[in-house]
Structure 1
């Protein structure tokens, strides 16, 4: 099935496919992407653009996949800065001293789900297979960031915390911050039980009726995209500055790795951003 989006820009180069946010592209300030499964060299359950070193794929294939995607978006894979994601809300300020950590150097960036920098030429990367990727750009102060927002990161409001860091550490003005909410599991497919629902009711007491949809089987569907958008708007981000994906990773198993859809037998997608 052909990949189609009404909100994101789809780029193709031979078999390789990746996505960008049009409102980020329009600024000319970043190189960025969200990857798909297409265009790599991995095989089997990792077919084909797996970017996860810890999934069991052959390391040489993963490294070749990095070379392919990074060449396409014109960043140096040797400068990529990785974090060890743990579904929390800690944010790390990346500098040029961190370049290459996790890819070609050992990394001390542990238990971190958000990366931010105001230095040009540093590609940040975070990893996904249903969780919500949040992209941030202050187009005036020139700051970029990524946040990994699974359901735990969403209820911990990592998006709002990233905006606070942008303000307090880099002097960002709310009206200048652009947000992209990337491909992830949609409310069509994110079915949860009472335990997760209770966390959302605590985190979003005023908005729960918009985010939680009961099902007849005693389970619930949760809208992670809207939860993150509401968090960001409450923090002061302009609604017009937020662009939400229309691509559910579980609905589009031909194009994305989905932890739920592939029953854990999968590769990893990635969000990458770098200041030009």
Structure 2
């Protein structure tokens, strides 16, 4: 990914997505203070709404997108993906959300910025330059094992006649395979869903607790990539980050580093 700075706001973009407005925010360039310093883009964590709204305005200006038409998700670690329509413009930013339990958003409407929120989970970006459709999905371990990436692609194909081979996909910053320790019950769920052979690629013994058979390291990035490939996306149409949120606490908010008292990043994409 490429780091960009505009109006003192730092954000990341994908090389593959040059044809569409998009970005993944960092914590640099906002007005929030204390544990929320400085570009906090999460409501309902203790920061003032005025600060968060000002931060959204700043990232909107940096990306040259319409603040008033942003459409936010309502994430609860589901695999629920919805199609965003004109009536949804401004949801969660200038008026209350009209839906719940939504971890993925899709639209073909121009100037309808989609927004999903993060602290260590994986942001998945989607863009079909043929059918002019964009999407975002929030993929924590539950979303990853539930294959929300495949579900998003299938919905893009069903609703807009997209072809998986045309879809560009970005796997954005999250906790990396060298930082993400999970318990054996989480590992077992992945083995049940992905199978033993694939889990040899995405699971390994804990580096933090060597010899502890109840702890494993999980590679969410490659798990997401495998799911996208299985869904029909081509290898050359997938771009994967090398930015870890836990390794870079000065650049990102990280739940594993900071706990619940922290800010958060967002992924944004708009036709």
TM-score when scaled to structure 2? 0.96
Shift of 1:217: 4.4
Q: Deviations over 1:36-55 (max 9, x none)?
A: 00000000000000000111
In the other structure, the counterpart of 1:124 is 114
> Aligned partners of 2:96 and 2:7: how far apart in 1?
33
Unaligned runs of 5+ in 1: 1-7
Which one of 167, 171, 179 corresponds to residue 181 of structure 1?
A: 171
Shift of 1:64: 0.7
Contact 1:51/1:66 (<8 A) preserved: yes
In the other structure, the counterpart of 1:136 is 126
Residues 1:112 and 2:108 are matched in the alignment: no
Residues 1:191 and 2:191 are matched in the alignment: no
In the other structure, the counterpart of 2:38 is 48
In the other structure, the counterpart of 1:161 is 151
Greater than 4 Å deviation, 4+ residue runs: none
Contact 1:184/1:248 (<8 A) preserved: yes
> Aligned partners of 1:14 and 1:33: how far apart in 2?
15
Q: When the two structures are aligned, how many residues end up with a matched partner?
A: 265
Shift of 1:57: 0.2
Q: Deviations over 1:194-215 (max 9, x none)?
A: 1111111111103010010013
Residues 1:37 and 2:21 are matched in the alignment: no
Unaligned runs of 5+ in 2: none
Q: Deviations over 1:76-117 (max 9, x none)?
A: 111111121000100111011100111111111210000000
In the other structure, the counterpart of 1:172 is 162
Shift of 1:14: 4.7
> Aligned partners of 1:242 and 1:188: how far apart in 2?
21
Shift of 1:167: 1.1
> Aligned partners of 2:83 and 2:202: how far apart in 1?
31
Moved more, 63-72 or 124-133: 63-72
In the other structure, the counterpart of 2:235 is 239
Which one of 246, 260, 270 corresponds to residue 266 of structure 2?
A: 270
Shift of 1:257: 0.4
Contact 1:81/1:124 (<8 A) preserved: yes
